[in-house]
Amino acid sequence: MCRPMTPPRALHVLLPAAGRGAVELVVDGQHYHRIVRGGILAARVSLDVMTADFKAMLVPAAGGSGVTGHAPSIVQVFRRLAEKGVEIRLLHAGTPSSAALRELRRALPAGLTIRRCPRLHAKAVIVDSRSMYLGSANLTGAGLGAKADGRRNFELGVWTESPALIDAVLDQFNALWEGRHCAACRRKDVCPVPLEEPALG
């Protein structure tokens, strides 16, 4: 059961950033409010996600009870965004959790493309190519989810609208997404289906 969280007091630490746009430090429980509620749910055009771990974390409604039966999973959230025309690319490292796989097997949301790279350890969420999270949190309840204090990971990251930083991360994302490192990769033994999610059936 997810308990509703009061939005943590924001830490607005402005750091020098390349080009236009400030960089805001995001700590622990701020991840859910800044990245999920203020970022992922606000996507209108595109959503690019890099995560080492992918689980069907719950996304309680703002001000809602957060009870398991009433909170959609991130897969359902992706499905709703895709139905609104948002193009979603999800790049992850391992096998999704069993709950996430069950939902994906029901119907892979149109507009959601999933690729896998076992060497991926970076975590980023890029919303509409205009705002971005870059940090330690995976796409899991303990990382980006609405877990109560004492149950979530200690996470650090930055949120920015700096075009220079976003473009640099997108370049790295696209290099992985397009398989530019696959030919020279020395971990093909753990990547039998490079860049494509194994069959969900």
Range in 34-38, 70-74, 83-87, 164-168 with the lowest mean pLDDT = 70-74
Is there a domain that residue 144 lies in? yes
pLDDT in tens, 48-72: 999 999 998 999 876 544 444 578 9
Is there a domain that residue 141 lies in? yes
Closest alpha carbon to 59 in 43, 45, 70, 48: 70
pLDDT in tens, 39-48: 999 999 999 9
High-pLDDT (> 90) share of the chain, % = 53
Is there a domain that residue 126 lies in? yes
Cα 67 to Cα 171: distance, rounded to the nearest angstrom: 39
Domain that holds residue 55: 14-190
Is there a domain that residue 2 lies in? no
Residues 6+ apart with CB under 8 A from 41: 59, 77, 81
- Which pLDDT belongs to residue 148? 83
Residues 6+ apart with CB under 8 A from 60: 2, 4, 66, 70, 71, 146
Task: For residue 190, give the DSSP letter.
Answer: G
We report the CATH number of the domain holding residue 58 as 3.30.870.10
Is the pTM higher than 0.75? The answer reads: yes
The kind and range of the H/E element at 170 are helix 163-177
Is there a domain that residue 5 lies in? no
Cα 73 to Cα 56: distance, rounded to the nearest angstrom: 5
Specify the number of domains making up the chain.
1
Q: What is the mean pLDDT of residues 185-193?
A: 75
- Which pLDDT belongs to residue 2? 45
Residues across the chain: 201
Rg of the Cα atoms in the chain: 16
Is there a domain that residue 71 lies in? yes
Examine the pLDDT at 12 and tell me if it is beyond 50: no
Q: How confident is the model at residue 176 (pLDDT cuts 50, 70, 90)?
A: very high
- Which pLDDT belongs to residue 197? 60
Is there a domain that residue 195 lies in? no
pLDDT in tens, 120-135: 999 999 999 999 999 9
